[in-house]
Structure 1
């Protein structure tokens, strides 16, 4: 991974500058002689907004039911009349650079979270029973497959483009979540959602002002 670029992108994400982060990553990729990884330039995943909205809504319903049962039937009757909901969601994309056959995401729900550190991410109480397939970048998946199966990491331009493209994939997933949240006023949209990919620290808070 291009750690110098990743650090710059992380700083932009922490200040809610996702569009600037995408522009920076695309600029870095354009500075590299053209490869098949350049196919990602100017493309997004926004065709998935409607399906993702339903996926999140269904999970919010099922995971809230689990939380209600967890805190007990009596409390649900005599306690607060407000619906019990998770206080945060976390989205993790699979390890997509090496699992190129299918790209997908899973959601996790939490009873507590912090903006000061990420230690709480391992302490989820529920997760989606079925994952959500990412479509639209299948040709990019083929490029990752070729890179690994044909061991082309000794080709400098390909290696550099790979390291930028992987970050762009994550940024486009984060953009998908931002636009999904921006397009709904459902109650679940107020629950904080944190988005990244497996083994990456590039975490974006999709709906926190």
Structure 2
């Protein structure tokens, strides 16, 4: 993991400036000698927007009812976690979680969710990259310097693209009056510190 780059990108993510974060990550990737990971430059997940909208809407409908039936608990926030995608290259997916308690100082509270989705949502469009991750692991290519460097930038760029998908989905759902946009959604992948919060 490129912790310096993650810290730098995280500053932009916290300011809700995903466009700058993506630009910086793509620029860093382009400085590395060409690898299979470079196909990620310019790619996004925005084709999944309507599917994600429906997925969040369905989850919101089910948890809204559960909170209505539970005394003293109200929905405060939602959380999306992508699976540990670098080592689970066969399928990339997300799960959603809901919370009645959140904290401001850190993200330890993300472990104490009330409800989670019964079914995950498969992320499509990056299948060629999944094959690249598989090739790197199966053929132990991680030892090759440019592959290691590109790998470390690519993993952060993939998370940024997921966060971009949520930003755009929330923006359009808000303009269509979807109630779930009133609740913040925190978005990242398993075991990553770079967490985006929808506005």
TM-score range, shorter chain: over 0.9
Q: Is the 8 A contact 1:60 1:85 kept in 2?
A: no
2 CA distance for matches of 1:206 and 1:148?
Answer: 33
Q: 1:63 matched to which residue of 2?
A: 63
Q: Secondary structure at the match of 1:153?
A: helix
**Secondary structure of 2:169's partner?**
helix
Q: TM-score, normalised by structure 2?
A: 0.96
What is the alpha-carbon root mean square deviation over aligned residues?
Answer: 1.1
Match of 2:127 among 138, 146, 154: 138
Give yes or no for contact 1:193–1:206 (8 Å, CA) kept in 2.
yes
Give how far 1:71 is off: 1.8
CA distance in 1, matches of 2:153, 2:95: 23
Q: Is the 8 A contact 1:87 1:113 kept in 2?
A: yes
- 1:27 is displaced (CA, Å) by 0.3
Deviations 1:58-93 (A, max 9, x none): 000101111122228xxxxxxxxxxx8511000000
Question: Where does residue 44 of structure 1 map in the other structure?
Answer: 44
Structure with greater Cα Rg: 1
Aligned match for 1:123, one of 98, 112, 127: 112
Structure 2: unaligned runs, 5 residues or longer = none
Stretches of 4+ moved more than 3 A in 1? none
Q: Write the mapping of 1:59-98 to structure 2, written as runs, cut at 5 A.
A: 59-71=59-71, 86-98=75-87
Match of 1:206 in 2: 198
Equivalent residue, structure 1, for 2:89: 100
Verify: 1:197 aligned to 2:186, yes or no: no
CA contact (8 A) 1:6 1:167 kept: yes
Unaligned runs of 5+ in 1: 73-83
Looking at structure 2, the residues matched to 59 and 85 of structure 1 have their Cα atoms a distance apart, in angstroms, of: 15
Residues in 1 aligned to 2:68 and 2:62: alpha-carbon distance in whole angstroms: 10
Aligned to 1:181: 170
How many angstroms apart in 1 are the aligned matches of 2:33 and 2:128? 19
| SS of alignment partner, residue 16 of structure 1 | coil
